[in-house]
Structure 1
Amino acid sequence: MSLQSAELLFRQGQYSAAQKVLLQLLKKGQHMAAANRLLGFIAGQTQDFPQAIERLRASLRYDPNSLESWYYLGMACQKSGQHRAAAEAFGALLQRQPNLFEAEHDLGLALLALGKAAEALAHFDRAVQLRPNAFEAHMNRGAACGKLRLHAQELQCYESALALQPAHPTLIENYGTALCQARRFADAAQLYDRTLREHPGDADYAFARGGLLYARAAIADWRDFDAQMALLREDIRAQRECIEPFALLILPSTPQEQLQVARLHAQRHYPMAAEPLHAPVRAEGERLRVGYISADFGRHATSFLVAEVFERHDRERFEVTAISLRQSDGSAMRERLERAFDRFVDAHELSDSETAQAIADLGIDILVDLGGYTIDARPSVLALRPAPLQLSYLCFPGTLGAPFIDYLVADPFLIPEAARADYSEKILYLPDAYQPNDSRRETATGPLSRADAGLPEGAFVFCNFNNGQKLTAAFFDIWLRLLARVEGSVLWLKGGTEAYERNLRERAAAHGIASERLVFAPWAEQSAHLQRLALADLCLDNLPYNAHTTASDALWAGLPLVSCVGQTFAGRVAGSLLGAAGFPQLATDSPAAYEALALALATDPPRLAALRAELAAARGHCALFDTATYTRHLEAGFAAAWERHRAQLPPEHIVVPRLGA
C-alpha cells in the first residue's frame, strides 16, 4: 500500500481504511510528514481535534514549512478552544506565506477569542484588503469593532456585509444589536420590522420580534405593543429563540416565560461541559476561596453597590479573588476595587477556556457571577465548571436557566417560597434585601439649586431615573394623570435619545400636558447625581422592571419612593429595598393603589415632609445600608452552601438567619 492509495481512500471518505495504510507507512518510517499530516486531516474530519493537533504537530517536525499543516493545525486548535495555540499556528503560516486571506482572517478570529480585539481588527483589515467581497471578513471585522466600542466602524462593517448577503440572519441580528448599542434605536426598530415582514413565521428570524420590542421600548414607541407581545408569547411557547433573556425582563412577561427563554438560551449558547474543571474538595481548615467574576469592575452600577462588601469580607475566613473580564477603565472605582481583593486577575485577554483554567488553578471554591446575560459577561466560562459551587448574584435580576449555576442570591420578598419552581437555581435567601449598598458612597457638596438642574423653583417635582427602555405606556400615563392633578408639578426623567424625548413629549401633549413639564436630566457622576436627587419631591417607580440601583440612590438621598410590586424578580426589587429600609408601606400591590398613594403624598405636604424626615433618620440604622451586617449574612450563605457541598449533598434552598435572631 502507498501514500497515494491512502490519499485516494481519504478523498473517498474511507477514513478507517486510510488510517490503516498511513499507520503502516509510519511503522515503516516512510512519508513521515505526509502520513502524519493526512492522519491529522482525518482526525479533524471526525472531530477528534486533540488527535488532529498531535498528528499535525508531528508532521511539522518533519516538514516545518508545510503551509497546509500550519493552517489545519490552527483550525484544529481553534475548534478545540485552544485559541492561543491557533494564533501561533496562523502566525507561523503568515511568516511563511504573507498575504494569505485564510490565515489573516482566522488569525483575527483567534485573537478575537483571546480578547485581543485591536490586534484582531488589524488582521481583519488585511483580510478585507485581500478579498474585498469576503462576507465573513466584513462581519467578523464588525465584531472586533464592537468589542472596541467603535460603533460607527462596526456599523459600516455590517453594512458592507449586508450588501453581500442581505438576508443572513446572524448578520441581521448582529447589526440590530450594534444599532442599539450605538443608540440608534429607531433604525434598529426599522431593521427588525422589515425583517419580520420579509420573513414571516421563519424561526431563523424569530429574534427580530424581541429586537423590535426592545428597540421601540428604548424610544418610548409603543405602537402595536400588545399585538407584538402576543406574537412574542407565541414564539416563546413554540421554543423559538425570539428574544435575549435580559431584554425579556423589561417586557410584561411572567416568571415562567423568563425561565423558558433563559433555559433555551443556555442550552443553545452555553452547553455545560461533560466533565468539570475544578479540583476535588480541599482539606478542612483552609480559608474558603471565593471568586467574583465580572466585566463591570469599574464605573458601573454593580460596582457602586457591592464595592464595600468586597472590602468587608472576613479575611480570616475568606480569601477573595476578582476575575475581571474587561480592561481597566482607569476610574477611581476600578482603583478602589483592585485594592479591595486579595487577588485581582485581569482576564480580558484570556479565552474562555484559559479563564476557566485560571479559576480552577487558583482553587476557587465558590465562583460568584456578577454578569449573567449582560454585555461582556461570559457564561461560557461558568459552563466549563471551573469551581465546585457557582452562584448568580446581583447584576442579572432573574433566573439564568443554566445547569451550571447552583444558587441564586435573593431574599424572601423577591422570591416567595411558592415561586421557587420558576427558577432553575436553588435560592440562597438573605434575611433582608438581596441588594448590597455602599455606606461609604460620597455625595457631592456645595450649592445646587433647582435652576442649576433645569427645574422650576416652585414646582412639585416628580422624578424617575430608570433607563428609558424600562418605561411602559401604562405607567407613563399614570404619571401624566398625576401631573394633571397636581398643579404646577413637573416630571424629571433621565435623558435619552432625541426620539425618546420627542415621543414622550408628544404623548404628554396628547394628554393635555405641556411638553415643558417634562424635564430631562443629563448624565452625572454618582456623587453629583446623589446630590441632585434631593431637589426632587417624590420618586415614582414603574413596572415590569422596578428601580434597582436608582431606588437605593433615592432612599440614600432621603427621597421618598413609591413602587408597585410585580410578579418577577425584576419587578419586586424596589419592594425588597423599601422593606429593608423600613418603609414597606411605600410598595403598593396594584397600579391603582400606586397612583392613589403617589397622589396622596404629592397633595399632603406635611405628610410628605414627615416621611422625608423618617427616611433621613433611618439611613444610619436600617438594614438596607448596614453593609457590615449584610456582608456577614452573605458569608453565612456562602458557608452554608459550602458545607452542603463538602457533605456531598446536592444544592438545596438555603435560608440565612438574621444575626442575633
Structure 2
Amino acid sequence: MSKVSVRTYFDTAQAFLNEGKLKESKNLLNEVLKAKPNHLPSLLMKGRILSMEGKYKLAIENNNQALSIFPLDINLRLQSGKLHLRINELKKARVIFDSLEQEFPAIPQIHFQSAICYRKLNRLAEAESSYKKVLHVQPKHLQSVNNLANIYQLSHRYEEAESLYDTLIRSGIRDSMVYANKASVQFKKGNENEAEKSFLEAIRLNNKNVLALYNLSLIYYSSHKQEQSYKFLEMALTIEPKNVKLLSLKALFSYSNGERKSAKQQLKTLLKEYPNEEEPHLKLARIYVEELRFESVIQLLQPLKGNELLSDETHFLLGIAYDQLQLFSAAIDQLSKLAGHPKFALRALMTIQMIYSKCGEVDKYDEMMSRVIKALNQFLEGSFGEVDVPVYNLAYYPFDHNLTTKILKKHASNFERRINPLKEELNFSYNLIDSKRIKIGYLSPNFKVHPDSQLIKDFFKYHDRDRFEVYAFSLQKNDDDMYRFIEKESDHFVDLSYCSATEAARNINQLGVQILTCLSGYNLGMRMDIPALKPTPVQTMFMGYNESTQASWIDYVFGDCVTITEETRSFFSESIIELQTSYFSNSQMIPSNKNVSKEAYGIPHDVFVYGCLNHPRKIGPQIIQTWAEILKKNSKSILWLYRINEFTEKNIKKAFVNFGIAENRVIFCGKEPFRDHIKRLTLIDLFLDTPVYNGHTTCLEALWMGIPVLTIKGNTVSSRLCASFLTSLELEQFISDDLKAYINKAVEFAKDLTILNQTKEYLEKAKGGIGIFNVEGQVRKIEAAYETIWERYLKGLKPVHLKIP
C-alpha cells in the first residue's frame, strides 16, 4: 500500500469515526495496519475506537503493542493511562501518570487525567494539586474548575466549592450539573431553600438530571412534603428505572410511610442484586438505627469498611452503632473521619467526648469540653445549618442555663420547621365530648427492662380506672417480662413500632386520647415527630427526660420545688406541674436471693465502703479529685465504682494515682442482672452521688436497698434530682450545697456509723409508703394534675404553672 493509499484510508477512517461509524472506521484502520503495522496514528485511533466500544481489554492490548514500537510516545502513554483508569486498574494508571507528570509538567491534559485517578483513589489533596496544575497552565479549563470544586465539596470546604461553582456560572456556563453541584453544597450547608432553587434550575436546564431530581426528592422528604418528594423520585425512576440509589430511597420512603416490613424486604432484595453497592446498605442501616438494632447495623455495614469511598453517613452510622455496643475504639475511628462535616461533625464530636467519659479518660476532659462548646456555638451561629444535635446528652455537661436553652430552642425550632407541613396537612381535631373517664396515654420506646419502665411500671397498676382510661403506646417491640407486665396492666397496649409518624399520630388521635405523656423526651428511640404532630389536645413530659424541651408541642412538664427553682423556672418553655417534695417515684424492686460478700467483689472486709455505681460518663476530673480528698481523710476506706470496660478501670485508677491515691483503694465491678445488681448495693456503707448529672435510677436503687446517699445540689434538674429524692424522704442532712460540704459530710458520716445505721433502718420502713416510695400516693397526685389540666383545657384556659398539693 502506497503512502497515498495509507493517507486516504486513514482520512476516510477518521471521517467514519466522526460520523459515529465505528465498525467501518476500524475496518479501514486494520487495512492500514496490515500494510504498515507501525502506523502510529492508526494505532492510536484504533485504541480510541475499541475504548468507545467498551472493549477496554482489547484497547489495552492494542496500546501495549503500539508502545512496544513507540515506548516514549506521549499520546500512547496517556491513552494507556486513561484505559487503565477506565477499568479501575488504578495502580497501573498511577504509575503511568506519575511518569508523565515528571516528564511533561506543562501539559495540562496529563495533570487532568492524573487528578481523576487521584480522586478515584480518594487521595483528595493530590487530586486538588493536579487540578491546580491544569489551571496554572490553562486558567479557563472549565472542567478542571468544576472538578476542583467537587474536590472541595468532598473535603467539606463548602465556601471554596460554592465560590468556584459561582465562577463557572458567572462565566456564562449554563450547565445543569454545575447548578446541581452548587445545590448539593447549599444542601450540605443547611441552606435548603437556596439548594431547592439551584436544583430546580438544574432541572430546568436538563429535566433528565437524575442527581438534581434525587436531591429535590430528599429535600421535600426531609420537610415532610411527601407529594412533591414522590413526584421527583418517580421522575428520576422513569429516566433510570434500575438506579439502585433511587430504588433504595423509594424503599426508605415506604418505610417512613408505614410500609415497614415490605420496605425492609425491598432493601434486602436490592442487597442481593447489588451486593457491592453502598446505598441499600446505608438506607437499611438507617432503619436499624431507628429501631435500635445496633448489632444489625454492624453486621450490615462492616463488610463495606474496606471501601475507601464510603459516604460520611455510613461512617457516622457505624460510629453510633459501635458506641452503643461499647466498641469504643472502633466508634472513635469512624466518628473521627467526620471532623469537618457540617451535618455530622457536631454529633460525632459530642459522641466522642461522651466515649472518653465512659472510658474514664479524664485527661482529655478539658480539651474535649472546649471543642464541644466551640462546636455548639458554631451550631448556634448557623455554621452547621439545620443539623440534629444530641440534645439528650446536654445534661451531662456543666453548661449554664442560657447556653443550654439557646441550643434546645434552635434544635426545637429546626425540628418544628421540618414537621409543620405535615402537621398542617393532618390538622387534627379533638373529640371533646365529656366522658366519665379521662383518656391518658403514655408514649415510650422503653417499655422493656429499662430504668424508665422500672420507675413507672406500677403507675399502670395504681391508676384509678373509675376516673382514667390508660393507654400505653410502645415505640419499640420487645419480648421481656417488663414489656408483658405493662401490656397486662394498661387498659390498652398499642404497638406503634411499625407505624410511620403520621400513622402513629392518627392512631392516637382516633382513639380519642386526651392527655399524652411522653416518657423519654429527646432520648434515643423516642420519636418526637409523633407528639410534634399534636395528636392530642394536651401533652406533657414526665420523668424519662428531665430538662425543658423548648418544644411548642409540649404543654406541661412535671417537676417539684427542689428540682425547679424560682430562678430556673424561666428557662422552661413548658408550664410546670409542681408536685410536692418530688415528682419522681420508685416502683417496687425485688432483689435476688444471692448471697453477696465483700470478698466476692475484691473488697477488704475491714474497710468503710464508699460506693458510686453511677454510669462512668457522669464522672469527671472534679469529682475524682473530690473523692480523692475523701479517701485521704479516711484512710480506712475504699471507693467502689462501676466500669464499662477495662479502659474505664485503668484510666480512672490512673487519675486517682495522680491525686495521690493508691490503685488498690479504688475497686471496680461490672454489669450484673438487675436483681443481682441491687442486691450487691447492700455492701456499700455510703453511696456518693455525682454532681453534674446525679444518679437517678441508681440512687433510687440504693435508697430502696437501704443505703444512705450523699449528693450535691446543682443548678439543673438532672443535678438536683437526688436532692429531690432525699427531701421527699426527709433526709435533707445528706444533701450538700457545695463540694466542701460534700467532703466534710462524707468523712463525718464514716467516723460515727450511728447516723448511717439509723438511716438504713429508716429507709427500710420508708418502703412502706413514705415519699418517693409511696407510688400509689404519687399516682393520686399525678391524677389530680391530669384532672386539673384537662379541666383548664375544656374551659379554654392556657397552660400555667400549677402546684399540686
Asked whether the two chains share a fold, i.e. TM above 0.5, the reply is: yes
Question: Equivalent residue for 1:575?
Answer: 723
Contact 1:368 1:391 in 2 (8 A): yes
Equivalent of residue 455 in structure 2, options 293, 305, 308: 305
Is the Cα contact below 8 Å between 1:581 and 1:619 reproduced in 2? no
Q: Does 1:292 align with 2:442?
A: yes
Q: Does 2:585 correspond to 1:436?
A: yes
Give the Å deviation of 1:467.
Answer: 1.2
Deviation at 1:607, TM superposition (A): 3.2
For structure 2, list consecutive stretches of 5 or more residues without a partner in the other structure.
1-174, 177-198, 201-215
Shift of residue 206, structure 1, vs aligned partner: 3.5
**Match in the other structure for 1:36:** none
Q: Which amino acid aligns with 1:450?
A: K
Q: Write the letter of the residue equivalent to 2:798.
A: P
Task: For 2:404, give the aligned amino acid.
Answer: Q
Following superposition, the deviation at residue 401 of structure 1 comes to 1.5
- Give the AA of the match of 2:457: A
What is the CA deviation profile of residues 191-221 of structure 1, one whole-angstrom value per residue up to 9, with x for unaligned ones?
Answer: 545543x67xx68633343233222112111
- In the TM superposition, 1:110-509 aligns within 5 A as 110=253, 112-113=255-256, 120-131=263-274, 134-146=277-289, 147=291, 149-151=293-295, 153-154=297-298, 157=301, 160=304, 163=307, 165=309, 168=312, 170-193=313-336, 195-196=338-339, 205-238=345-378, 239=380, 240=382, 243-271=389-417, 272-273=419-420, 274-275=423-424, 277-328=427-478, 330-438=479-587, 440-445=588-593, 447-509=595-657
- Give the equivalent residue in structure 2 for 1:592: 740
How many pairs does the alignment contain? 577
The aligned runs of 1:16-35 (5 Å cut-off) are: none
Q: Deviations over 1:306-325 (max 9, x none)?
A: 11111111111110001100
Q: Secondary structure at the match of 1:520?
A: strand
Q: Supply the distance in 1 between the matched residues of 2:265 and 2:608 (Cα, whole angstroms).
A: 55
Paired letter, 1:362: L
Max radius of gyration: which structure?
2
Higher RCO structure, 1 or 2 (CA under 8 Å, sep 6+): 1
Could you say what secondary structure the match of 1:434 adopts?
coil
Report the CA distance between 1:108 and its aligned residue.
3.4
Distance 1:341 1:81 in 2: 36
Q: 1:448 to 1:214 in 2, by over 3 A?
A: closer
CA contact (8 A) 2:431 2:512 kept: no
Instruction: Give the structure 2 partner of residue 532 of structure 1.
Output: 680
In structure 2, relative to structure 1, the CA distance for the partners of 1:619 and 1:148 (3 Å cut) is closer
**CA displacement at 1:619 relative to structure 2:** 3.2
CA distance in structure 2 between the partners assigned to 1:654 and 1:165 by the alignment: 56
Between the aligned partners of 1:507 and 1:656, the Cα distance in structure 2 is 46
SS at match of 2:446: coil
Q: Is contact 2:577-2:802 (8 Å) kept?
A: yes
TM-score (norm 1): 0.80
Contact 1:138-1:158 at 8 Å conserved across structures: no
Q: Give the C-alpha shift of residue 398 in structure 1.
A: 0.8
Are 2:319 and 2:333, in contact at CA under 8 Å, matched by a contact in 1?
no
Contact map agreement 2:249 2:283 (CA 8 A) in 1 = no
Any idea what SS the aligned residue of 2:567 has?
helix
1:492 counterpart SS class: strand
Return the letter of the residue paired with 1:236: L
Moved more, 515-524 or 536-545: 515-524
- Conserved 8 A contact 1:493-1:519: yes
- Summarize deviations over 1:623-655 as a string: whole Å, max 9, x none: 111111111100111111111111111111111
Query: Does the residue aligned with 1:444 lie in a helix, a strand or coil?
Result: coil
> TM-score, structure 2 length as denominator?
0.66
Of 109-118 and 276-285, deviating more is 109-118
Amino acid at match of 1:209: L
The separation in 2 between residues aligned to 1:566 and 1:160, in whole angstroms, is 46
Q: How far apart are residue 539 of structure 1 and its match? A: 0.2
Relative distance call for 1:471 and 1:110 in structure 2 (3 A) is same
Q: Provide the C-alpha distance between the structure 1 equivalents of 2:761 and 2:389, rounded to a whole number of angstroms.
A: 44
Residue of structure 2 equivalent to 1:19: none
For 1:610 and 1:302, locate their aligned partners in 2 and report how far apart those are by CA, in whole Å: 30
The aligned residue for residue 523 of structure 1 is 671
Give the aligned residue type for 1:216.
Y
2:245–2:279 Cα contact (<8 Å) kept = no
Equivalent pairs: percent with the same residue? 26
Does structure 2 conserve the Cα–Cα contact (< 8 Å) formed by 1:289 and 1:363? yes
| Aligned twin of 2:714 | 566
1:544 pairs with 681, 686, 692, which one?
A: 692
Counterpart of 1:608, as a letter, is L
Measure the CA separation in 2 of the matches of 1:372 and 1:110.
25
Contact 1:236–1:242 (Cα < 8 Å) also in 2? no
Question: What is the SS of the residue equivalent to 2:397?
Answer: coil
The CA distance in 2 between the partners of 1:256 and 1:586, in whole Å, is 29
Contact 1:232 1:242 in 2 (8 A): no
SS in structure 2 at match of 1:534: helix
Q: How far does residue 299 in structure 1 lie from its aligned partner after superposition?
A: 0.4
Corresponding letter in the other structure for 1:359: I
Matched-pair contact (CA < 8 Å) for 1:541–1:561: yes
**Post-superposition offset of 1:226:** 2.7
Checking the alignment, whether the CA contact within 8 Å between 1:301 and 1:549 is kept in structure 2 is yes
Instruction: Report the Cα distance in structure 1 between the residues aligned to 2:585 and 2:704, rounded to whole angstroms.
Output: 13
Task: Identify if the C-alpha distance between structure 1 residues 193 and 161 changes in structure 2 by more than 3 Å, giving closer, same or farther.
Answer: closer
CA contact (8 A) 1:136 1:161 kept: no
Correspondences of 1:96-107 after superposition (within 5 Å):
101=244, 104-107=247-250
Task: State the AA in 1 paired with 2:456.
Answer: V
Partner SS, residue 417 of structure 1: coil
CA contact (8 A) 1:151 1:181 kept: no
Output the CA distance in 2 between the equivalents of 1:634 and 1:489.
42
Describe the superposition over 1:299-349 as per-residue Cα deviations: whole angstroms up to 9, x where unpaired: 011111111111111111110001100112x22222211111110001111
Q: Secondary structure at the match of 2:516?
A: strand
User: Is the contact between residue 288 and residue 319 of structure 1 (CA under 8 Å) also seen in structure 2?
Assistant: yes
Cα 1:194–1:591 change in 2 (3 A) is: farther
Residue 252 of structure 2 is matched in structure 1 by 109
* Code of the aligned partner of 1:352: A
Per-residue displacement from partner, 1:110-160 (whole Å, max 9, x unpaired)?
Answer: 454367777655433433444456443332232244336243753762783
Secondary structure at 1:223's aligned position in 2?
Answer: helix
Residues 389-419 of structure 1 deviation map (CA, whole Å, 9 limit, x = unaligned): 1111110111111111111111111111221
The 3 A distance-change label for structure 1 pair 128 and 281 is closer
8 A Cα contact 1:322 1:345, kept in partner: yes
Q: Measure, in 1, the Cα distance between the counterparts of 2:303 and 2:373.
A: 31
Pair 495,112 (structure 1): closer, same or farther in 2 beyond 3 Å:
farther
1:454 Cα deviation from its structure 2 partner? 3.7
Q: CA contact under 8 A between 1:289 and 1:366: conserved in structure 2?
A: yes
Note the alpha carbon deviations across 1:469-506, whole angstroms, 9 max, x for none: 11111112222222233224222222212222221122
